[in-house]
Structure 1
Amino acid sequence: MNTDTHAKNDEFETLLCFSKAVAAARHRSDLWEIVNEQLLENIGASYYTLCLINEDAITHSPFLYSPKNKIKTVTGESPVMLQLHPIHDGIFDKAIEEEEPVVFNMQSLVRRKGVPTYIIHWYNAGVKEMMLVRICNGKEPKGVLYLYALKTGVFLQSRFSFFKGIADQLGTGISNILANETVELQLEEIRKYKTQLEQENSYLKEERRKDKQLTGKAIGKSAAMGKIYDLVSKVAPSDATVLILGETGTGKELIAHQVHEASPRHDKLMIKVNCAAIPANLLESELFGHEKGSYTGALEKRIGKFELANNSTLFLDEIGELPLEMQAKLLRALQEKEIERIGGKSVIKVNVRIIAATNKNLEAEIVAGRFRSDLYYRLCVFPISLPPLRERREDIPELVSFFIEKYAVGSGRKVTGIAPKALEKLKAYSWPGNIRELEHLIERTVLLTAAGAITEVSLPTRNKILFASQHPETQVRSLADVEREHILKMVKLSKGKISGPNGAAAKLQLPSTTLISKMQKLGIRKEHFIDTGKEHD
């Protein structure tokens, strides 16, 4: 057997082994090891770079490369190696156009005008000769294999068919790896979606358990409720933010449900957050979620309520209890329509319709420095004020009938109605706890009634005292609250000016430095007395 035949056989064996190894490669690191361990020595090259045409079809960049004996992919390495280069750089495009490998003498190449920076990089690394072999997927060019030798005369024309065979195998391997990376990305998205579905399902089960009584419509045919129904019908089809106002127990959550159920988002679950029921240090995680390990106790990733409510409705109950720090973060989420998980490295776009509710006077909270005016104007796009039960007494008979039937069935009691005298007693009561108080009273009365109609109701006198204590004149306020409110009033009268003859300090007969110190101590900031709502519209 002559030398040429022996060499051809060696090349055939090398191609066969290389082909089998490349076919089994699933990641870039696999391919890197195969090229370095099975190929470079047989080719006579010291280094290589495998560049692919980018999606923009005007640049190319490294897919794999191997300076020295370390694994190098396109992440975290030499800036010269990692930057994008134009396809038409006089080197890459020449290799793409040629079916045969192209060999360059580096010393001659660097003398050219406008030579690419990566050529200078390899010349300075001691490379004497460079060969480029076109890589195709079928007949379509996908990239170029650069091979570098530390001496000349390494890449012989007699071995060009062998080099082309190597490039063909690499084309197949790269296609497999890219397809595998696409599949892995899709699987990761599926895992994320599955996790979200599991959390949504768990949340849905819990909410259904809690809110079985909130599936119906509001009860009442009074003129006051007629106005509410009209407002709900007008705002529901839109994506406008709704702020539901009203005393405790007036049915704010039920109205929120009705807005959601009449909206285009009704096929998805309305997500709820009670801002008063969650500790302040957990609210951010509850709303925006967190990544695993983002803080002590974060043992797994958590999807926040904003993500769960994507393409649905988020109901923020007791919004007046939200801490000031969280108010700022909520405002940003509403303005930008994006959130960040705690410990996350990227923003998440969300499409969420907001319904908020409170029994507080938010305008008074703004004056007191406990609520941001800019957040208030963001929430109060479409306010709905629910009337207290004492202002819709004509609805009491219908409400009583509904609650009697509900709790009679639930408790197995054969209670059929209520006597006129007892009903008149209920209609005469002031109901400081509103519908919630009426419901609890009927539930208790049904349990105490063996059968037939309810003839007697026991109204709790303590609620009258509680109701009276809520009157502003009987509330006990701290000195700090009174001082904060008075300072805010003076600053607003001065149009935000602190010092000077027309400033708040002069009106309060205080040095401006003393007033500024007091404002800092009381937590009074610029947004409390300057309306910034228009800046964000």
Structure 2
Amino acid sequence: MQKTNHTGPTGIDEGNHADKNAIFENQLIQKENEQVSLLCVAGRIAAVRSRADLWNIINNEILDLFGSQYYTLCLLSEDADTHYPFLHSRDKRLENDKVDSPIIHRQHPVNDGVFDIALSAGQPVIFQLAELTKQKDIAPYVHYWFKLGIKEMMLVKITNANQDRGVLFLYSNKAGAFSPEKFNLLSGVADLLGTGMCNVLANEKIEQQIEEINRYRQQLEEEKAYLIEEQSGNRFSGFIGHSQEIQKTFRLISQVAPSDATVLLLGETGTGKELVARAIHEASPRRGKLMIKVNCAALPANLIESELFGHEKGSFTGAADRRIGKFELANNSTLFLDEIGELPPELQVKLLRALQEKEIERVGGGKTISVNVRIIAATNRNLEKEVSQNRFRSDLYYRLNVFPITLPPLRKRKEDIPALTSYFIERFARNSGKKISGISQKAMAKLISYAWPGNIRELEHLIERAVLLTNKSIIKMIQLPEQIGVDGGSNDKAFQIRPLEEIEREYILKVLKVCRGRISGPNGAATKLKMPATTLISKMQRLGIKKEHFVTGKDDEEA
């Protein structure tokens, strides 16, 4: 039976017209569906704030729109020569593929025969992987996906503000899964992804800036707390004295301060090593920032590492928050490591690495932090002896011993005792509200004759006690500590162990006083001491005995 074509009054084939209407209606429905899909995706992307949000939208909604199983959203690098994954599918097969999976995570050149084609094309492009793998020098990730069973991939360029930003890769394990009929929808989705991706990048940058602001705020708070602590414990703000020994120290400070050289302060306890460290810092180009101090002997061994390098939240029991260490606080400033000889051996290794590499890691953190810190270390121990007895690392000692300064004990700068005493009397009298103008000659002579094993710190505490006990305008009584006798007990009349040089100096001064200042001649001190006059003069120079000490009748206690 022959098919009959029916025509209307106008002569148009009504059957063809109905077919065209059906096609047109299908196209309208498809466009409406695409618009609905785009509106839904647009609404979701508008609320995107993180990569996780964007990942959920692509993985749970966009893949289904195009019948895709996996995807990779690649971004152009800032140099525009390479591209790298910004987001990608997560699948057990990808996670278990430990050999080749890094291929899709690393950077690749833009001109890799796939990415560049998608960038230059005016619409999405479809590739058959079986054909691509036959090409020479094709991108390694093509072979990777082909091994996982991917048959076809569809790519579309991602733009934002008319700038190329990257490419979206959609993968399917079925041949013929992608159709050009979806190109318009994919292009629309790509435009939305460009906006969402840029929003995510902007939010990440803001979060990074907020994190840096919080880090600097925390650092400022730490510095403020540290400064308050230091100011409350600050003993005195300047050097007192004009002796040759202290003048030598001044010269060394002026030589090393302008540099970034590591300084090692040596000397007995109480000689003012922290004061010298502050003087070096204040005379250096780093004086605009606070000098940070760590007393290595005042902290338990298990806390020193955290104190020096900081720790991350939860890195150990009690670490409720992240804490910035002293090295970070001292960045572009000076770090004073007091009592460095007390540092445990295991921490000596980490300190050496920080000094050599100028890098640290917080406890419990894997991030390396660069620091620019000038080190001043101090100890009252003989570090060379500690090294020889394997209690201190030789490499750390040599790293610290760049510019050593040995501070003189108070018994070797006795001419500074009157000035130091006056300073402490004035300070403590003012603090206690007393009017004390000075100290008697007898009390001063007693101070000068004392050996001062605790040095300036001992003098300071003794004067503070004397001020509190004095009810008059002049201090007349000084209660010196009891000296330790040879039997180990305490007795004023017991034998006092004193340096031989000190006894020799005192005896020569007394002989000179008896001889009325004469050195040579029949009645001179050299004759009575049975030594040549030149030898006596040499001894006097070595012991710091000056002419005014004996010509005016003053003995050693008033020197």
TM-score (norm 1): 0.80
Partner residue in 1 for 2:516: none
The Cα shift of 1:80 comes to 3.9
Structure 1 letter corresponding to 2:397: Y
1:468-510 C-alpha deviation (Å, 9 max, x unpaired): 67989xxxxxxxxxxxxxxxxxxxxxxxxxxxxxxxxxxxxxx
The equivalent position to 1:12 in structure 2, one of 35, 39, 47, is 35
Distance 1:133 1:323, change over 3 A: closer
Distance 1:335 1:62, change over 3 A: closer
The Cα shift of 1:408 comes to 0.8
Distance 1:265 1:28, change over 3 A: same
Residue 168 of structure 2 aligns to a residue whose secondary structure is strand
Judge conservation of contact 2:100–2:144 (CA < 8 Å) in 1: no
Judge conservation of contact 1:414–1:450 (CA < 8 Å) in 2: no
CA distance in 2 between partners of 1:140 and 1:317 (Å): 57
Partner residue in 2 for 1:256: 277
CA distance in 1 between partners of 2:92 and 2:392 (Å): 61
**Bigger CA drift: 374-383 or 109-118?**
109-118
CA distance in 2 between partners of 1:468 and 1:345 (Å): 57
Structure 1 letter corresponding to 2:218: T
CA distance in 1 between partners of 2:391 and 2:497 (Å): 22
The Cα shift of 1:93 comes to 0.9
Residue 363 of structure 2 aligns to a residue whose secondary structure is coil
Alignment of 1:191-202 (within 5 A): 191-202=214-225
Distance 1:77 1:452, change over 3 A: farther
Partner residue in 1 for 2:405: 384
Partner residue in 1 for 2:556: none
Q: Does 1:21 align with 2:39?
A: no
Alignment of 1:89-238 (within 5 A): 89-211=112-234, 213-214=235-236, 216-238=237-259
The Cα shift of 1:238 comes to 1.0
Unaligned runs of 5+ in 1: 473-537
The equivalent position to 1:294 in structure 2, one of 315, 327, 342, is 315
RMSD over aligned Cα atoms: 2.7
Partner residue in 1 for 2:478: 457
The equivalent position to 1:364 in structure 2, one of 370, 373, 385, is 385
1:315-337 C-alpha deviation (Å, 9 max, x unpaired): 11122222233222222222222
1:382-415 C-alpha deviation (Å, 9 max, x unpaired): 1212212122111111111111111111111221
Q: Does 1:53 align with 2:53?
A: no
CA distance in 2 between partners of 1:195 and 1:470 (Å): 51
CA distance in 2 between partners of 1:332 and 1:77 (Å): 35
Q: Does 1:35 align with 2:58?
A: yes
CA distance in 2 between partners of 1:294 and 1:89 (Å): 44
Residue 451 of structure 1 aligns to a residue whose secondary structure is coil
Structure 2 letter corresponding to 1:218: F
CA distance in 2 between partners of 1:362 and 1:15 (Å): 74
Partner residue in 2 for 1:503: none
The Cα shift of 1:421 comes to 2.6
Partner residue in 2 for 1:435: 456
Partner residue in 2 for 1:510: none
CA distance in 2 between partners of 1:76 and 1:411 (Å): 76
Distance 1:139 1:366, change over 3 A: same
Judge conservation of contact 2:94–2:101 (CA < 8 Å) in 1: no
Structure 2 letter corresponding to 1:293: G
**Residue-pair matches, total:** 468
CA distance in 2 between partners of 1:64 and 1:305 (Å): 38
Structure 2 letter corresponding to 1:275: C
Judge conservation of contact 1:29–1:71 (CA < 8 Å) in 2: no
Unaligned runs of 5+ in 2: 1-23, 489-494, 501-559
The Cα shift of 1:176 comes to 0.9
1:80-134 C-alpha deviation (Å, 9 max, x unpaired): 4323332212121111111122223344434433433333344444444432211
The Cα shift of 1:150 comes to 4.5
Residue 143 of structure 1 aligns to a residue whose secondary structure is strand
The Cα shift of 1:159 comes to 4.0
Judge conservation of contact 1:32–1:71 (CA < 8 Å) in 2: no
1:184-213 C-alpha deviation (Å, 9 max, x unpaired): 2222222222222222222222222122x2
Q: Does 1:62 align with 2:85?
A: yes
Distance 1:193 1:335, change over 3 A: same
Residue 100 of structure 1 aligns to a residue whose secondary structure is coil
CA distance in 2 between partners of 1:173 and 1:167 (Å): 10
Judge conservation of contact 1:416–1:451 (CA < 8 Å) in 2: no
Structure 2 letter corresponding to 1:172: T
TM-score (norm 2): 0.77
Q: For the pair shown, which has the larger CA radius of gyration, 1 or 2? A: 2
The Cα shift of 1:313 comes to 1.2
CA distance in 1 between partners of 2:448 and 2:499 (Å): 22
1:5-61 C-alpha deviation (Å, 9 max, x unpaired): 121111122112211211211112212222233333333434332222223422223
Partner residue in 1 for 2:293: 272
CA distance in 1 between partners of 2:352 and 2:175 (Å): 66
Residue 436 of structure 2 aligns to a residue whose secondary structure is strand
CA distance in 1 between partners of 2:167 and 2:233 (Å): 63
CA distance in 2 between partners of 1:279 and 1:180 (Å): 42
